[in-house]
Structure formats: structure tokens, C-alpha cells
């Protein structure tokens, strides 16, 4: 029966090509605009590490001294070195990593200097963030404690320096210092780069990873947000009054997360008792998706554009409703004959919805082409996320689902009016 309705729909659409083209164009414009903005929203608001995002937490504390504390201030994003090292030493999380971004100049085999983005972190960083290894392995926790001169490099840098060969055991020259390569990352791209949003929300991963303890020992340069109070000749010193280290903890269960929150409160209470400050102190523990939301990774203008695009789709649907209504009521005589020959109202209703669905599928196909063009324009915008906006299989399917659902919705009223056409009146008028 569906095949029969489909045949009738195609015949009807071919009889009035101009009206059909207008309906398809209306659907296509609405779908193309909506799917462009929805795809951008999907990329920006997507889960960057599915399966673990609810287990990884950004740790924050407000341990400002009394003269720098203001009631109602937000909890700082970063920690002091003193607090970060204390949390690492306590080891209350399944895994934990204090880290900072940086940059260094390495020397290629040809003696050419290369400036590379660097991350100073701990051994737990790699299993925490599912960073795969192509060659070798990450350094061990013992290397963190021993300030080992080791490094993990990216696959891209390995290709540039060693032609893609296994470079484990090779030496990475950094000025007058040298680091032994213990691992080479595989294909790993974390976007949004939730683990360090202060150094670009989207982009390639760092090219060199070094133990934080080693970076501090070698006095390697760091980058990122730093906030100091009081006199701080060396902001990176162990007791410097400066907040600059990012801290992440992996907590495998909700119970562990609750216990860690309590541990942070107890830690703050101990700092109060030690005379560090007298205010209540603050602690924050946000999982990955909460952290992305708190930092506004999805810009307000993108949200506004999405709502405007959906509103435009609604206007296109209203136009489609009018066109379908005019088309169906123009066929009152044909519908009356079918009703007189025994067709039920339900059959007329289904026939009209099938016709609306065909318009939706055609509109979805053209809308997909418009969305692809829209995404090309987005990728040429001066934004850090533009290059990463692509339509995946999920959004491809969503395009046709949205087009079909929209056209069926638009066809409900015209189909309902058509099925209530009185056969006698329709036949008499013809």
C-alpha cells in the first residue's frame, strides 16, 4: 500500500513542478541553515572524551590570604605549586596530574632550531586522558619524583625529527640540556582541549611532554594564566604566592568523587588551622562537561545563531504548510472521487502525508548541500574552532530525520483538511 501512495505522490508532484520546487526550496533553506548551526553546536558542545568525562574532575581551591579574599569571588581555576604538590603527595584520587603549558626550542638532526608547544605534567596524564602510544610508553611515577630527564613527543614531531622511525631512546636536545625520549604519541587530538582551555580551546595537542618536576628543575619557560599576591620574585618557586598550575583528578565512582570533595574541605580546614587564612575557603570539583559549560566553550553568539536558524526553519515550515494546503485543496475533485469509490479518510490522510514526506526528503537532500556550503564558510571564519567543524554520520542522519519530521509536521494540517473534503460537494463542484 505504501508503494501505491508513493506512486500517487510522485505523480502529483510532477503535475505541478513549480509548486513542488517552491516547497522543496522552502524546506531546503530551513534545513540547510539549521543544520549548519546545529553542526557547529554539536562540535562545540560534544563530549571530548566519551566514557570518562564523568570521571575526570578539574580541582579548584580558593586559598587566597585574608587581605586578597573577597566574599563572593569565583573559585580560581588554578592552584598554587604548594597546594598542587600537597594534593599529589596525598594521592587521594585514582590518578591525578598537576600541569602547565610551555614552549621550548629543540634542535633537529640538521641543527635547525624548532620552537614547539610543550606540556609539563605527570605520568598519570597519559592514562587519564586516553593518550595512545605509537612507540614506547609514558614515563613512570618514579620519574616524576626523580626529576628524570625524559620526554614523550608527538607523532608529528617524531616525523619531523626522525622521519617517523621509532625514536625511543633517542636524545631530544633542548638548548644545552638533553632529554631522553621514552615514548611517541599515536593519533591523539582532544578537541575541545578541555584539560587546558587557557591556551586555546581548539587546536593540535602539544608536541613535547615533560615531567613537571623536570621542567621546574630545568627552569623551562611556562605559559598560561598566573595570579600572584604579595612579593613573588620567582612565581614558580615552591612557596611562591602564585596560582598557576592546572590540576585534574580521576575518580572512578560517584562515591570516590564525594570522598574527594570531603578531602578538599578537610585540606582547607587544615590550612585555616595552620594560620594561612581565616576565611571559610572554597573548593570546586567539576567534571569535564561541567567544566566546559562553566568556561563557556559554546559562545553565546553560536547559541543565538542556532535559535535564529531554528526560527527561520519554522518560518519555512509555515510557508510549506500554505503551499501544501493550496495543493491539496486544489485536488478536492480527485479526493472526492477517491472517497466516492470507497477510500477512507485515513487513506486520504496517509496519502497526503506520504506526499509531504517526499517533499521533505527532497528538501533534506538539497538542504544537506546548503549545509555543506555553510560549513565551508564557517571553516573560513577567524575562529579557533572553525577548522574542526565537520558533519559526522550522526549529523548527516539528523539532517534527513529533521527534514522528514519537519515536512510531516507541515503536512498535518493540509492532510487533515484534505481528508475532510465531502465527496458529494467535491463531485458536484466538478
For 270-322, write each residue's pLDDT tens digit.
Answer: 888 888 887 777 888 999 999 998 888 877 788 888 899 989 999 988 988 88
Please give the pLDDT value at position 144.
93
**Statement: residue 98 has pLDDT above 90:** yes
Give CA–CA dist 391/218, Å, rounded.
44
Give CA–CA dist 209/135, Å, rounded.
14
**Statement: residue 104 has pLDDT above 60:** yes
Please give the pLDDT value at position 427.
47
Give CA–CA dist 190/175, Å, rounded.
29
For 338-364, write each residue's pLDDT tens digit.
Answer: 666 666 778 778 777 888 888 888 888
Please give the pLDDT value at position 7.
63
Task: Please report where in the chains the cell 573559585 appears, as a residue.
Answer: 75
Among the listed ranges 119-123, 181-185, 207-211, 278-282, which one has the minimum average pLDDT value? 278-282
Q: Where are the alpha helices (DSSP H) in 134-280?
A: 141-145, 155-162, 212-218, 254-273
Q: Higher-confidence residue: 67 or 58?
A: 58
Give CA–CA dist 202/199, Å, rounded.
9
Give CA–CA dist 245/235, Å, rounded.
11
Q: Higher-confidence residue: 58 or 337?
A: 58
Report the candidate in 217, 37, 238, 251 with the shortest Cα–Cα distance to residue 143: 217
For 28-48, write each residue's pLDDT tens digit.
Answer: 999 999 999 988 888 888 888
HSE-CB at 379 with a 13 A cutoff on CA atoms is 12
Task: Please report where in the chains the cell 520546487 appears, as a residue.
Answer: 21
**Statement: residue 330 has pLDDT above 80:** no
**Four-point Cα dihedral 148, 154, 158, 159, nearest 10:** 180
Residue-by-residue DSSP string for 375-401 = HHHHHTSS-SSGGG----HHHHHHHHH
Among the listed ranges 111-115, 339-343, 409-413, 423-427, which one has the minimum average pLDDT value? 423-427
Give CA–CA dist 118/369, Å, rounded.
40
**Statement: residue 426 has pLDDT above 50:** no
Question: In percent, how much of the chain has pLDDT > 90?
Answer: 34
418: left (phi over 0), alpha (psi -120 to 50) or beta: alpha
pTM exceeds 0.85, yes or no? no
pLDDT category at 336 given cuts 50, 70, 90 is: low
| Contact call for residues 168 and 182 (beta carbons, < 8 A) | yes
**Statement: residue 424 has pLDDT above 60:** no
User: Pairing mode, if any, of strands 177-185 and 171-174?
Assistant: antiparallel
CA 318 to chain centre: 33
Amino acid at each position: 500500500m505504501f508503494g501505491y501512495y508513493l506512486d500517487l505522490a510522485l505523480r502529483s508532484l510532477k503535475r505541478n513542478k513549480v509548486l513542488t520546487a517552491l516547497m522543496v526550496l522552502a524546506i531546503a533553506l530551513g534545513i540547510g541553515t539549521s543544520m549548519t548551526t546545529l553542526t557547529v553546536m554539536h562540535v562545540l558542545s560534544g563530549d571530548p572524551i566519551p566514557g570518562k568525562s564523568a570521571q575526570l574532575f578539574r580541582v579548584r581551591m580558593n586559598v587566597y590570604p585574608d587581605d586578597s579574599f573577597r566574599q563572593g569571588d569565583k573559585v580560581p581555576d588554578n592552584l598554587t605549586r604548594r597546594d598542587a604538590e600537597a594534593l599529589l603527595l596525598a594521592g587521594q584520587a585514582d590518578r591525578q596530574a598537576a600541569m602547565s603549558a610551555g614552549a621550548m626550542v629543540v634542535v633537529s638532526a640538521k641543527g635547525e632550531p624548532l620552537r614547539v608547544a610543550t606540556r609539563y605534567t605527570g605520568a598519570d596524564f597519559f592514562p587519564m586522558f586516553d593518550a595512545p602510544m605509537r612507540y614506547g610508553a609514558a614515563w613512570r611515577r618514579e620519574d616524576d619524583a626523580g626529576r628524570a630527564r625524559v620526554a614523550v613527543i608527538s607523532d608529528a614531531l617524531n616525523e619531523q625529527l626522525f622521519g617517523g622511525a621509532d625514536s625511543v631512546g633517542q636524545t631530544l636536545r633542548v638548548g644545552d640540556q638533553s632529554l631522553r625520549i621514552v615514548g611517541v604519541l599515536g593519533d591523539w587530538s582532544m578537541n575541545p582541549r578541555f584539560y587546558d582551555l587557557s591556551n586555546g580551546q581548539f587546536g593540535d595537542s602539544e608536541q613535547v611532554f615533560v615531567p613537571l618536576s623536570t621542567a621546574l628543575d630545568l627552569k623551562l619557560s611556562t605559559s598560561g594564566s598566573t595570579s600572584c599576591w604579595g612579593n613573588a620574585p620567582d612565581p614558580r618557586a615552591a612557596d611562591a604566592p602564585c596560582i598557576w598550575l592546572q590540576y585534574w583528578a580521576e575518580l572512578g565512582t560517584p562515591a570516590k568523587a564525594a570522598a574527594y570533595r570531603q578531602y578538599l574541605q578537610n585540606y582547607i580546614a587544615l590550612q585555616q588551622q595552620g594560620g594561612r587564612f581565616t576565611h571559610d575557603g572554597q573548593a570546586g570539583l567539576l567534571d569535564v562537561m561541567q567544566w566546559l559549560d562553566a568556561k563557556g566553550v559554546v559562545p553565546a553568539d553560536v547559541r543565538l545563531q542556532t535559535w535564529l536558524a531554528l526560527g527561520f526553519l519554522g518560518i519555512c515550515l509555515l510557508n510549506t504548510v500554505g503551499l501544501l494546503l493550496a495543493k491539496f485543496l486544489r485536488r478536492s475533485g480527485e479526493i472526492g472521487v477517491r472517497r466516492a469509490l470507497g477510500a477512507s479518510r485515513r487513506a486520504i490522510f496517509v496519502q497526503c502525508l506520504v506526499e509531504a514526506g517526499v517533499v521533505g526528503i527532497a528538501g533534506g537532500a538539497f538542504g544537506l548541500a546548503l549545509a555543506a556550503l555553510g560549513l565551508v564558510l564557517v571553516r573560513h571564519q577567524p575562529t579557533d574552532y572553525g577548522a574542526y567543524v565537520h558533519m559526522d554520520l550522526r549529523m548527516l542522519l539528523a539532517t534527513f530525520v529533521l527534514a522528514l519530521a519537519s515536512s510531516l509536521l507541515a503536512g498535518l494540517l493540509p492532510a487533515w483538511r484534505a481528508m475532510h473534503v465531502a465527496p458529494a460537494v467535491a463531485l458536484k463542484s466538478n
